[in-house]
Structure formats: structure tokens, C-alpha cells
């Protein structure tokens, strides 16, 4: 089978990691649980930053957010390693800026993500992911953004939505709330 995965806030807890960096930089102590109440992808409102200030904060610290010790969601890495060991093909499709492609790929390999040559796609806009996913003829695809999955509705790809506080209104796809549950299902 051919599995495709978005990276940020699908496999890794980028928002949670950014929250810890913002706390340190802004000398605040916003609890991680505050993310569960936030119905936007962007976290700057938790710090009373305007959209402009939030955009600047993100851009100023983007490399630190992307390439320090951001953790995978529990069970996500183990699931991918298990799928690879079973002989399934794994593809990563991320809208991270093209300037970060090689660094992202190297960072993921360093943390144990199974990445085969030619199975890592980066640098496209969100709406362009559909073309890559269709060209790859994926069987399954997982993303945290409903708008991406919506573009795949008329395809043969089985889509899953990684559960996040900002995508609660979407109800068209099965949600992945806990990667460890999916890992256990594969073991059975």
C-alpha cells in the first residue's frame, strides 16, 4: 500500500513546540492545554499579538521552531516505522517552504522517520498537494487541514484527518485522535 502523510501538526506537534518557544521568547507561561481551546492554526492570539505581530514572530523563529526538538505525536513515528517494516511505501507531502526541504528531510531522518529516496515532497502550496497525491496514486493520506482533504474528495484516496482543535467543524473524514490506536490496529 502507498501511504501519504503531511508533517506539521499531523505527525509532529509543531504548534505545541512553537508554544514552548513563544513562552520562552515572550517570557510567558501559556499552558499547552490552551491549544485545545484555540480554534485557529496560528497561536499568536494566545499572546495577545496582532496578526501582523504573530506573522513576524513566526517568521523570526521559524528555523528554531522547525529544526529543534519538536516531538512526534505519541505513536506516529512507531506507526511509520512499522508500516515501512511491513513493506508499505511511505510518502511525505509538506507545504513547508522549498528553502527548508533538504533540512526538513535531514531532520526527520535524524529522528528516525523512514524516508526513501523520491518519497519526500516539499515546497508546494497547500492547494497543490492534490496533484502530487494523485500523481503518486496513494491509497491513504493523512493531513490536519480539512481544505486539503476536501480537494481529494473525488479521488480514490482514502483520507484521514489528524484531529486538531482548529478542525473540529470538519466531519467528512475519519479522525486520527491517537496514533497509538492506529499502531495497535496494524499489530492485530
164 CA to centre of own chain: 10
**SS3 at position 11:** coil
Q: Which residue has the cell 479521488?
A: 155
pLDDT for 22 equals 97
Average pLDDT over residues 60-74: 93
120 CA to centre of own chain: 14
115: alpha, beta or left, given left = phi > 0 and alpha = psi -120 to 50? beta
- Give the Cα separation of 115 and 129 in Å (integer): 18
pLDDT for 185 equals 66
pLDDT at 186 over 70: no
For the segment 6-15, what is each residue's pLDDT rounded down to a tens digit?
999 999 999 9
- pLDDT grade, residue 155 (50/70/90)? confident
- Give the Cα separation of 58 and 179 in Å (integer): 27
pLDDT at 179 over 80: yes
| Residue 67 grid cell | 529544526
Q: Which residue has the cell 507531502?
A: 93
| Residue 140 grid cell | 491513504
What pTM did the predictor assign? Answer: 0.93
- pLDDT grade, residue 74 (50/70/90)? very high
Average pLDDT over residues 157-166: 94
- Share of residues in the chain with pLDDT > 70 (%): 97
Name the residue among 118, 68, 114, 120 with its Cα closest to residue 93.
120
Q: What count of residues does the chain have? A: 188
Amino acid at each position: 500500500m502507498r501511504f501519504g502523510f503531511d508533517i506539521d501538526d499531523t505527525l509532529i506537534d509543531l504548534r505545541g513546540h512553537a508554544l514552548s518557544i513563544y513562552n520562552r521568547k515572550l517570557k510567558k507561561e501559556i499552558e499547552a492545554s490552551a491549544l485545545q481551546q484555540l480554534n485557529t492554526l496560528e497561536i499568536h492570539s494566545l499572546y495577545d499579538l496582532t496578526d501582523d505581530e504573530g506573522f513576524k514572530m513566526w517568521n523570526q523563529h521559524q528555523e528554531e521552531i522547525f529544526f529543534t526538538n519538536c516531538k512526534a505525536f505519541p505513536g506516529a513515528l512507531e506507526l511509520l516505522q512499522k508500516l515501512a517494516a511491513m513493506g508499505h511505501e511511505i510518502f511525505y507531502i509538506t507545504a513547508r517552504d522549498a528553502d527548508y526541504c533538504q533540512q526538513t528531510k535531514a531532520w526527520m531522518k535524524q529522528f528516525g522517520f523512514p524516508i526513501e529516496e523520491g518519497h519526500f515532497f516539499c515546497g508546494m502550496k497547500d492547494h497543490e498537494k492534490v496533484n502530487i497525491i494523485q500523481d503518486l496514486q496513494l491509497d491513504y493520506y493523512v493531513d490536519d487541514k480539512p481544505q486539503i482533504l476536501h480537494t481529494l474528495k473525488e479521488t480514490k484516496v482514502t483520507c484521514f484527518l489528524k484531529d486538531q482543535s482548529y478542525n473540529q467543524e470538519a466531519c467528512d473524514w475519519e479522525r486520527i485522535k491517537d496514533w497509538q490506536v492506529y499502531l495497535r490496529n496494524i499489530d492485530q
